[in-house]
Structure 1
Amino acid sequence: MKIIKKVAKGILYFLLVILAYLLISVLVSYITVNSNSDDSLDEKTIFLSTNGVHLSVIIPKESLTQNVLEDLQFHKNHQYFMFGWGNENFYLNTPTWNDFKLKYGFEALFLNSPTAIHLTTFYQKRKSWIAVKCNQQELNKLNVYILNTFKKDRQGKKIIIPQKLYAINDTFYKANGSYSPVKTCNTWVNSGFKESGLKASYWTLFDFGLLNKYD
């Protein structure tokens, strides 16, 4: 009987921790940073996209620096580059939620496992994308943020992950950083906006935290 009570208490504490984590995640996502930035020089446009869970940032090819474009594989006529970051195994083994397995989720959240950048390129922009105005200085900082996320080999080249594609217009690359409950695919995009001086959430677990700043 005592064992059952201890197990029940343990489960209750675990659920309370999860509940507190989710509640705090929602609350801090409404705290806005960089809200007073000067938008008078905002002559550039980038985009945000979500699949309902996972945020990505899209940058026109003409707005990417040569350092970011170098070593990337893409069709020469594609003009828009969508970047996402996440746990490598989760990315590669879960192209849709129908492929989800608990072990992939557990590994992504609680184990120090490799991460990847998911690059998808497009010929033209999509209607579902949310436009974000920015200036050249902010754009330069975002380029640096994305570039520094790529893991490089000894020759300083980006490391492509071979033979792992969702479609013909996407590729995966080795990335820096470790996925965790406080550093997720959505916090990666949000942090890029924060570091670039763009309006962002203080911290956001969910995609709506950043999307709501630009609705």
Structure 2
Amino acid sequence: MKSRITKILRYIGFILMIPITYFLVSLILTYIPVNNDNDITKNDHSIYLSSNGVHLEIIIPKKNLDPLILDGLKFEDQEQFFSFGWGDRIFYVETPTWGDLTFVNGFRALFVNTSTLIHVTRYSKTQKDWAEIKINSVQLEKMNSYISKTFQLDSYGNKVLLPGLGYFKNDDFYEATGNYNCFRTCNSWVNTGLKQSDIKACLWTPYDFRLLKMHQ
């Protein structure tokens, strides 16, 4: 009996070590910066970061968006800023805030390779809680390319809009490429976009707070 209890406790301890190890390693990698040597004197464009407390998103002025991204997007003429986020299909749609999180959706998103969506929100002007990032033309081009490649296209080469799934009147969801898991989250997608665009970022992070702090 005692031996059985010992085995059970060891098993429980092993199970608990998995999330603890993930948390500790992710924090360490979050605080290791990359792309620190950017020459800010050449940065004449602005992009922005925003978070709703769950999902971090990248905002780009319409005038700086690649026409390939704008093509097929739903928007009005007065909407001048486009916010892009990426995430698990069910988690994104059913969990707009932490208060909507359920154990099943959280577990599924983190530990199962799930299908994904791009969340696009349009604004007529900048918002006070956005973190501005000054970048150059080459970085802007790389960021446009990164976002463009994340849209999943149909057999005719068109973006796939999912009507009626937006939270408000100024946002929509589109089919996306890639799969979501605990190593590739909505926030690590943003971080990867910054890294690949040679913009200051974390070595790797599943969180939003460090990226926002870097650029505020």
> TM-score higher than 0.5 here?
yes
How far apart, in 2, do the equivalents of 1:128 and 1:136 lie? Answer: 24
Number of corresponding residues:
215
Residue of structure 2 in register with 1:109 after alignment:
110
CA deviation profile, 1:170-194 (whole Å, cap 9, x unmatched): 0000101111111101100010000
* Mapping for residues 18-97 of structure 1, pairs under 5 Å: 18-97=19-98
Query: Partner of 1:119: helix, strand, or coil?
Result: strand
How far apart, in 2, do the equivalents of 1:209 and 1:128 lie? Answer: 15
How far apart, in 2, do the equivalents of 1:102 and 1:14 lie? Answer: 17
Query: Partner of 2:148: helix, strand, or coil?
Result: helix
CA deviation profile, 1:102-146 (whole Å, cap 9, x unmatched): 111111111122100001111111011011000111001000000
Query: Partner of 1:16: helix, strand, or coil?
Result: helix
2:24 maps to amino acid: L
Residue of structure 2 in register with 1:98 after alignment:
99
CA deviation profile, 1:134-164 (whole Å, cap 9, x unmatched): 0111001000000000100001111111221
Q: Gapped runs of 5+ residues in structure 2?
A: none
Report if aligned partners of 2:52, 2:97 keep a CA contact under 8 Å in 1: no
How far apart, in 1, do the equivalents of 2:64 and 2:115 lie? Answer: 28
Residue of structure 1 in register with 2:172 after alignment:
171
1:28 maps to amino acid: L
Aligned-residue sequence identity (percent) comes to: 43
Query: Partner of 1:40: helix, strand, or coil?
Result: helix
How far apart, in 2, do the equivalents of 1:133 and 1:85 lie? Answer: 22
How far apart, in 2, do the equivalents of 1:44 and 1:28 lie? Answer: 28
C-alpha displacement at 1:50, in angstroms?
A: 1.2
C-alpha displacement at 1:212, in angstroms?
A: 2.5
How far apart, in 1, do the equivalents of 2:102 and 2:22 lie? Answer: 22
How far apart, in 2, do the equivalents of 1:131 and 1:74 lie? Answer: 23
How far apart, in 2, do the equivalents of 1:17 and 1:111 lie? Answer: 15
How far apart, in 2, do the equivalents of 1:5 and 1:76 lie? Answer: 67
How far apart, in 1, do the equivalents of 2:25 and 2:97 lie? Answer: 28
C-alpha displacement at 1:3, in angstroms?
A: 4.1
CA deviation profile, 1:75-120 (whole Å, cap 9, x unmatched): 2211111111000011112223333221111111111221000011
How far apart, in 1, do the equivalents of 2:178 and 2:62 lie? Answer: 25
How far apart, in 2, do the equivalents of 1:187 and 1:12 lie? Answer: 28
How far apart, in 1, do the equivalents of 2:52 and 2:145 lie? Answer: 25
How far apart, in 2, do the equivalents of 1:153 and 1:140 lie? Answer: 24
User: Bigger shift: 181-190 or 8-17?
Assistant: 8-17
